[in-house]
Each structure stands twice: as C-alpha cells, then as structure tokens.
Structure 1
Amino acid sequence: MHLHLRADSIHLSKSHAKALDDEFFLSHPAAYFASRISSLLATEHSAAVPTPGDEPEFFAALGLSKTDSLLAFDEQDRRLQLAVEALSLRHQAAEALLRFMYAVTAAKPKEGDSPSTWLLVADSPNALIDVVQKTMAAVNSDEELFLRCLFTPGTRVDEKVAAAADTAVAWVNHASSLLTGDELSVNAAHNKVKHGLAVSTRGDVRIEFITTPPNDLGQIPLSAFGEGKSVPIFDRPMLTYLSRPHTNPKQGLEAISLRVDVPVVLAEAWMIANVYAAMFHARARRHFGDDLPEGVAPYPTLVIGRLPEHVIGGRPLGYREAVTLPPDGTTAPRKSGLFFQGSFIPMDVDYGSKVSGVVVEG
C-alpha cells in the first residue's frame, strides 16, 4: 500500500525495482540487532512477570483481567529461554549477513527482471550451503569484491582499513561456519528450535573434570574444585538436540549438547551484525548515490583485531556423541568428544564405571 506499486508486467520493471530498494535501504539492521541484544541482556537480570495491571491489552485480548499466574515460570526457565533466544539471534545475524552478501556478490536477477537487492535477498537459495558456497566462490574470484561490499565508494585502503577488512573476513568466515559446519551442526540446533522446538534445555546439569575421586564414604571435598584443580565443561545452560550429519558415507543419529554462554553468544551476534550493517550501508550508498535520503542508517564503526577466538576464548562449545550406528552397518560412527573454537578433543565416556559422590565442605 505505502509502496505505491501496481503489477503491470510478469517481470520486475526498473521503476518497481528502484521503488523496492528505496524502501529496503531505509531499514536499520544494526539497530534491530542492538535492540534484540539489549533486550536479552536486560532480561537476563530480570524475573519480572507481567500482570493485568502491567499489560492490560495482552490480558484483555485473552478476555482475562484477574489472573496473575498466567505467565508462570521460574528463574531457571528464564535462563533457558534466554539461551535459546541468544542462539537463534546469533544464527539470524549470520544468515542475514550471508544472504545479503550472496545478493550483492553472486546473485543474478531472473531473466527479464531489473536488479533489486531486496528481491535478490528474498529469492536467495533455500539451502544455506548453496548460499555460502556461491558467495564464497564469487568473493574468491575477485580480490577487490569484498572491499567493495564492506566499504563505501571512494574509501582509500590504508593500514587501518585493511585491518578492519581482515577482521570482517574473520567474522564472515565464522558466520559461514555457524551456518554450514557439520561437525557440531549448530545450524541443526537452530532448525530444531525453529521447527517444533525439538530440543532439550537443561539448567540443572553441571559437568566438570576433577582429579579427586569420591572417598570410601562417597564424598568429594569442595576443595577439589576450582582453578587449577578442576575444569568446568557444562556450567551454563545446555541445549541438546538430535542430528543426522550430512556426511558420505552416511552417519547415524547423533546427540549434541551445546554450552550456551549467553553474553558471549550475543557478543558474537553483535560482531556479525556489525559487518552486516557496514555492507548494508555501503550498498545503500551505491543505490542512492551521494544524495542519501533522510532515514538511511549510518555507517557503523568497524571493529579492528577482535577475532572470533578472542570473543569465544577457550570455552567449551559443546559435546557430540553417537546415538545409533551408521546405516550401512560397516562405517564407524564419528568420534564422541568436546568441541572448542578451532579444535576437537575426542572423548569416550566409560558409563559402565560410573560412581556416585556427594560434594561436602572440606
């Protein structure tokens, strides 16, 4: 309605393409992600539950006015919800960045259509592996293409600009890994959350490596834990999902548990979104030219030198284990083990030798 468009051809006309992109480039992707991140960070420290007095329109829509227990949850439920939403937001940032990059580097308009960045994003392939592979092929075929995507026209490439580009490349690669990596299958986690919430979330499980076994009374002293004495593995909300990896030969079913450190995951999302916002503004400048209309989001300050390994650090990312054997009956299942940023530690848990213990003062 507000676009003032009327269909007059089976193809997208030049005027319609311009009108679409005039509207699209008034979006504020950085502000959207900043608002989402701020909301989740604030919610992490709040256990407030809306009441009919706080949110009368919500309760009125339900035909209720006197209940205070409709939205009941406890502190652990809130932590788990935040973990799921943080993972989803990081994934959304990664997908937004790569689909936009695909549109401005690799995509071609359909025959007869005038080019529209908005439409090229909307028409990008369903399969993320296709989006990533075609985008990377285009970028790798032209050494200046990434710079044109990231910076506004006329930017002089000096040492500072080159350093910002190197940092942005690292975050594009990280986003690509989140979307297509099949070792920890983070994309599968997002799909399981999105399609039916087919995941298990736990906030009451702590897994930690210690060197002090239980004594004859089944007791483990509290002094056995701490820096230099024990190694926490899962000490944050944990999200577990089932996945069938896309490997050849085929693997069986796997169970994967992700350790979700909400502030770190949100920091990853911000870094990815910052690169996306820079590319979005650069493309807007190329669309509008020097006469930018009011409302175009400003070019963000690009980060220099803060790479994924600096944000994530040495924290464990997750644990993978086989649930069923590969279907051909001869292939060995993939090794169980712990994932860190850039590394994997195989680990075979001996469930048959488990012992019970109680942590006591001492």
Structure 2
Amino acid sequence: MHLYLRADSIHLSEGRAEALDDEFFLSHPAAYFASRISSLLTAERSLAVATPADEPEFFAALGLTKTDHLLVFEEQDRRLQVAVEALSLRHQAAEALLRFMYAVTAAKPKEGDAPSTWLAIADSPNALIDVVQKTVAALGAGNELFLRCLFTPGTRVDENVAAAAETAVAWMNYASSLLTGDELSVNAAHNKVKHGLAVSTRGDVRIEFITTPPDELGQIPLSAFGEGKSVPIFDRPMLTYLSRPHVRPKQGLEAISLRVDVPVVLAEAWMIANVYAAMFHARAKRHFGDEMPEGVAPYPTLAIGRLPEQVIGGRPLGYREAVTLPPDGTTEPRKSGLFFHGSFIPMDIDYDSKVDGVVVDG
C-alpha cells in the first residue's frame, strides 16, 4: 500500500527499518491524546444522541432511516461511560510512554534485523512488569540516558530544563506504578474493562463518613453533612472489579472499587502524554536528523513542578476488600481499606452492625 513494502528476506533490512520509522514518526501522539481528553470532557457535560438526521451513514448501515430511539441512555449512563473511558485513556497513555521508553532504552533487535523504534515497540514484552523492569535497568545503567530521551540533541541543561526533567521523572514513575502496582491493581481494572467489560460501574452510590447517627426515627439531618462535619469517600462514579493480585504468598480473590474523578484522571493522562510527546519528538529528531520532514509533530511545552501528588491531591482513590481467603488456608488476606496517593488506611466495615437511615431536611 502506501508504504511501498515487499517482503524479500526473513530479516528486516536497514532500508525497510528506516522506511518504517519514517512513517511512524509522522504520528501525532500529543494531538491524539488531546483530542481524546477534550472529547471526554465535553461528553461528560453532554446528552447529545445521534439521530438519522445527524448521522445518516450510521443508520443507513443498519438499514434504518426513521428511528430516533436506537441509541437510548440516561445521563448517568453517559457519566459512567466517560468515567470508564477516562481510566482507559490514562492507562493507554502510561503504557504508550513506558513501551516507547523501553524501545529507545532497552530493546535489542532480533538477530539479523536492523533496529527500528516502531518494531521495538510492537515487539516489546507482553508482560508490563518486564517492560518496566528492563526500562528502569537501562536507565540506571546509562549515564544521562533519561535526559537524552526527553530532550532533543544540543539541549543545554539549565535550571528550567532540570526542573522539567525532574517533573517528567515523577510522571514516568507514576505511570510505572499504574502499570505494575499491585495494591489497587489498576492494571487489572484496565484489563477487566478491555477484556469483556468485566466490571461493575455505579453512579448511584455515595459513601460518606458522618458523626451523627440516625435518631430514634431513623432520620439523619441534612445539616450533619458538609465541610468539617462529614468526609465524602465515594461521591463520583465508581468502578468495581475483581482481581487476584500477583503477590507472594498468594492471595485470594479481591474486590476493588475505584473512585473516578474524571477531570483529575484526564489531567493525569495529559501529564503522562506530555512526557511521551516530548520523547517521541526527541527520537524523531534523532531519526531524521537536521532534515526534519513536514508533518512531524512539534516538541511540546513541558510542565514544570506539577507533580502527581499535586494533581491528585488528597482525594480517596479506592477501596479494597477480600472476597475469598488465600488458597493455602493459613495466610491472612490483605487488609481491607482506603487508598490515597502514597498512603493506605486499613478499614474494616462492620456489616453486622448496619443501621438504616433517611436523610431529611434539618
């Protein structure tokens, strides 16, 4: 097709490798993520539904021309869909960054093949833990290798460049934790969404700590809620999934609920994608040299000083609880509790002491 390729060897020649990367480095990863983020932010506030008048080709493909009741959903359904896609997009950004870094720091071409960044990403290990560990090892062994990945040749390291690199390292580490961390097992959540949508999404559950119990009539005054009076835990869309963590000794089945604050999750995705876009351009510059062709995405403006803990803040991230005991019959299950960025609060819910209450004015 447009690549003008014809297989004539079992190995990738230098010419073919160069042609592949010529094509690959005309991609615009920053624009892709910016478009996805913008569309999700817009969709969260919109209930627009496609109709035959708006999208005639879609309905014509189905053999329908007059119905307006095909794509039916409620406001909450849209909010939940956006929440799931926001999590998936953040994970895609994290994986794109780490697989790209693996390709340019740790990957070795197969024997007989010429090196190609595009192929190195495509051939990167299936297991994300291998991608991350090999990348981290390569960065540790290479003097200033991270700086060479992040900046174009000839960049002078001044105070701003050093600060941008420090911020980028923080987001690289955060992306790594999203892919390999086994406390909340966020990677498991992404896989459950990707493979069969094996998750529960709820927008009608609110969990909040209060100090005012129901009165003898089972009523809780509205005045018991608010800043300084109660602590919201789940007040955003919630995504719950089942996971068997990869830890030793083996654990049983766990249920994990993530609190999805869509604007914050998308801000995280943008910060990770920003680092990826910078590395992508820097590698493109090394590939093409001084004769950069038209269409190569520009080098982005790197964020300085906006670290993960500042973007995420003190918001709860999720809750973990055991569903089954560990298989050896002797190991204790991991503690149930709430996760925050960088911290965990053990918490056992006493379901046997549950009481019902109704929130009333007052």
TM-score range, shorter chain: over 0.9
Q: Deviations over 1:133-164 (max 9, x none)?
A: 00001001123000000000000111110000
**1:228-274 CA distances to partner (integer Å, 9 max, x unpaired)?**
00000000000000000001110000000000000000000000000
- Residue 198 of structure 1 corresponds to 198
Alignment of 1:205-354 (within 5 A): 205-354=205-354
Which residue identity lines up with residue 2 of structure 2 in the other structure? H
Residue 8 of structure 1 deviates from its aligned partner by 1.1
Counterpart-to-counterpart distance in 1, 2:330 and 2:336: 18
For structure 1, the residue ranges without an aligned partner over 5 or more in a row are none
SS of corresponding position for 2:147: helix
Query: Separation in 1 of the partners of 2:58 and 2:326?
Result: 49
Q: 1:146 is matched with which residue?
A: 146
Q: Residues of 2 paired with 1:329 and 1:79: CA distance?
A: 41
> SS of 1:226's equivalent?
coil
* Structure 1 SS opposite 2:356: coil
- 1:4 and 1:65 map into 2 onto residues whose CA distance is 41
Offset, 1:119 = 0.2
Match of 1:26 in 2: 26
Give distance in 2, aligned partners of 1:132 and 1:305. Answer: 24
TM-score (norm 2): 1.00
Task: Tell me the distance in 2 between the aligned counterparts of 1:65 and 1:7.
Answer: 46
Q: Write the distance in 1 (CA, Å) between the matches of 2:47 and 2:233.
A: 27
Say which is worse superposed, 135-144 or 54-63, in terms of deviation.
135-144
Identity of aligned residues (%): 88
Runs ≥4 in structure 1, deviation > 3 angstroms?
none
Counterpart code for 2:153: P
The runs of 5 or more residues in structure 2 that have no matched partner are: none
Could you report, residue by residue, the CA deviation over 1:17-57 in whole angstroms, capped at 9, with x for unpaired residues? 00000000000000000000000001111001111111000
What is the CA–CA distance in structure 2 between the aligned matches of 1:232 and 1:277, rounded to whole Å?
Answer: 36
Tell me, what secondary structure is at the counterpart of 2:359?
A: strand
CA distance in 1, matches of 2:37, 2:143: 33
1:50 match: 50
What is the SS of the residue equivalent to 1:137? helix
Report the counterpart of residue 60 of structure 1 in structure 2. Answer: 60
Work out the CA distance in 1 between the residues paired with 2:94 and 2:250.
Answer: 27
Distance 1:80 1:160 in 2: 39
Which residue of structure 2 lines up, in the alignment, with residue 104 of structure 1?
104
Query: Over residues 188-238 of structure 1, what are the superposed CA-to-partner deviations in whole Å (9 max), with x where a residue is unaligned?
Result: 000000000000000000000000000111000000000000000000000
* 1:308-341 deviations in Å (ceiling 9; x for gaps): 0000000000000000000000000000000000
Between the aligned partners of 1:272 and 1:265, the Cα distance in structure 2 is 11
Distance 2:233 2:141 in 1: 41
Q: Which residue pairs with 1:360 in the alignment?
A: 360
* Letter paired with 2:76: Q
CA distance in 1, matches of 2:141, 2:334: 34
- What one-letter code is carried by the residue in structure 1 that aligns with 2:115? P
Alignment partner of 2:153: what SS?
coil
- What one-letter code is carried by the residue in structure 1 that aligns with 2:135? T
Q: Please state whether the residue corresponding to 2:142 is helix, strand or coil.
A: coil
Output the TM-score relative to the length of structure 1.
Answer: 1.00
Separation in 2 of the partners of 1:311 and 1:352? Answer: 38
